[in-house]
Structure 1
Amino acid sequence: MRHQFSPDLESPHAPTVAQCLRPPRAGRFADTRASSSLRHLYRWLCRFMPSLAAHLAFRQLATPPRSAAGRWPVAIRELTRERRLSNGSSELAVYEWGHQGPAVLLVHGWGSNATHLARLVQPLRNAGFRVIAFDAPAHGRSTGRTTDMVAYAHAVALVARHAGPLHAVIGHSFGAAMAMYAARDWGLAASRLVLMSSFNDCNRFLEMFARHVGLTPDVLRRTRELLSQRYGGRLDWGRMSVTEMLRQANRPALVVHDENDEEIPFEHGLVMTSALQTAQLKATRGLGHHRVLRNPEVIRRITAFLVD
């Protein structure tokens, strides 16, 4: 399958490391007065109490912000079936539409919830798909106050197993990366993959946080070790490339990314599509990191990709 770039956005030059790692200009990791104050605190802690700094960073990193759940569109509100799925000592809120048709799983991003993907549901139902969405651990109506990459990806795989055979997974931002992590390490299988506004390496998420609070390299290393130790070394930071996970999945993939995404630079999408023969790129302009989720043209492109 040939890469499909928008003609006016195609570039013969591979993105540089600096482009992929440049600081976000918007979103929860953008510079603000509050983040400036936080950096002053961490600067002192990193210098005089590095172990405490790492533990505080670990705790802060594992505590997602709670965003208010939106309302499901009128067309699907009465058709929404909500149930609780046991996830060890916690519960996941799972939402379903339709009893028949190929199943499509929606995976939201960090600090978000299932309702943020609501505009996708009706078009997918109209195309004959059964749609499943859920609130990740410590998000939305699911229980818990903290989570992390391993717990998040495990939850994706758990919902997928209960949904039955999947035709496709559609993930946004952090959720797209966690869907790929679930595919590699927890056996999530889908015939087609859609990654929207995703970073190309999970280390990017930790690096964004480290820059946001001003962690020193030593404290960042300690924080990584705390995350790895929590799962007995299962979280291997050297194997967290989303591009490589996508390559290993070896499925037709659609990468959707906005040229003006101020949270995760457009170059991340270019890296993934440039590296994979099975990937297509839907490039947009002016939609940013979140409006891409409700753009009619993007939704039509995703639906067509799943039907094709």
Structure 2
Amino acid sequence: MAYQLFSQPRKGKLKKDKLPKTLQSATLETFQYQEDNIQTYIWKGDENIILLIHGWESNSSRWKKLLHHIKPLGKTIIAIDGPAHGLSDGKEFNAPKYAEFIHTVTQKYQPEIVIGHSIGGAAIAFYLHKYKNPLIKKVILLGSPSDFKILSNNFVSLLSLNSKIKTVLENYYHEKFDIHIDHFSGHVFAESFPQKAFIAHDKEDKVVLVHEGRKYASTWKNAVYVETTGNGHSLHNNELYQKVISFIKEA
């Protein structure tokens, strides 16, 4: 029951007949992963592809403001609705399953650049750790958590669960994901990543604390790290997005 509460988003779903205007301009394509449909949105450009990965209790419409900045680059842009979000199927959301969604789409489209917000960034880190895709050249993480244990501990504290339930819950994660919770750390995975990275975090982020961004920056060998103030967890900021564009344009 605790895991179900932890993994089921309360918002972020969409209805196909009531799509936000941002997504109405895209071409919709559906992929299959096991029993679930994966919804993607494609804005066609050249052969260079940017893949967008949203976060918890969100959907692909969260990229509305960033899209204004990256569309003029002329690249093909693809956004994914995560498990149990947007128009994608499922009731359960977690980073390993999200990583499989990413893998399913990247097998066909082979993006060179991936951008993730919040736990979408953590899913990218797990994906790169598991599949080590050399075709991805650049990674952009916006307000992304590193340590899964911190998220779990915050959840345990929120529900005032006792130590016995906490232990059983962590054992369940291990059994389900085949990785111990103590080893599920994006910044540890990043030690071996060859990709260039742009990592941004806000000092006043109350959802994912800034220390998580600093962890990524401390281990990712080829990374640019930017801290902002006053943008919170969403990190919607024109100046920051211009830095993202400059990073994308770099050779």
TM norm structure 2: 0.91
Q: Deviations over 1:221-251 (max 9, x none)?
A: 10121222235xx233232111111222122
Kept after mapping to 2: 8 A contact 1:160/1:188: no
Change (3 A) 1:121 1:112: same
Aligned residue number for residue 65 of structure 1: 10
User: Quick check: which has more Rg, 1 or 2?
Assistant: 1
Aligned residue number for residue 122 of structure 1: 68
Secondary structure at the counterpart of residue 288 of structure 1? coil
1:211 to 133, 157, 165: 157
Secondary structure at the counterpart of residue 245 of structure 1? helix
1:276 to 195, 210, 220: 220
Cα deviation, residue 99, structure 1:
4.1
Change (3 A) 1:64 1:279: same
Secondary structure at the counterpart of residue 260 of structure 1? coil
- Segments of 5+ residues of structure 1 without an aligned counterpart are 1-55
1:285 to 222, 229, 247: 229
2:116 to 160, 168, 171: 171
Cα deviation, residue 262, structure 1:
1.1
Kept after mapping to 2: 8 A contact 1:194/1:255: yes
1:201 to 122, 129, 147: 147
1:257 matched to 2:206? The reply is no
Kept after mapping to 1: 8 A contact 2:45/2:77: no
Aligned residue number for residue 85 of structure 1: 31
Q: Deviations over 1:104-145 (max 9, x none)?
A: 111111111111122222322211221110111111111111
Aligned residue number for residue 187 of structure 2: 243
User: Which residue identity is paired with 1:142?
Assistant: S
Q: Distance in 2 between the 1:122 and 1:161 partners?
A: 27
How many residues matched? 245
Change (3 A) 1:205 1:162: farther
1:266 to 184, 200, 210: 210
Secondary structure at the counterpart of residue 277 of structure 1? coil
Cα deviation, residue 252, structure 1:
1.2
Kept after mapping to 2: 8 A contact 1:68/1:140: yes
Greater relative CO, 1 or 2 (CA 8 Å, sep 6+): 1
Q: Deviations over 1:210-229 (max 9, x none)?
A: 11111223211101212222
1:161 to 107, 112, 131: 107
1:297 to 235, 239, 243: 239
Higher alpha-carbon deviation: 61-70 or 254-263: 61-70
TM norm structure 1: 0.75
Change (3 A) 1:305 1:237: same
Kept after mapping to 1: 8 A contact 2:28/2:41: yes
Secondary structure at the counterpart of residue 283 of structure 1? strand
User: Which residue identity is paired with 2:232?
Assistant: G
Change (3 A) 1:276 1:93: closer
Change (3 A) 1:65 1:187: farther
Cα deviation, residue 77, structure 1:
4.0
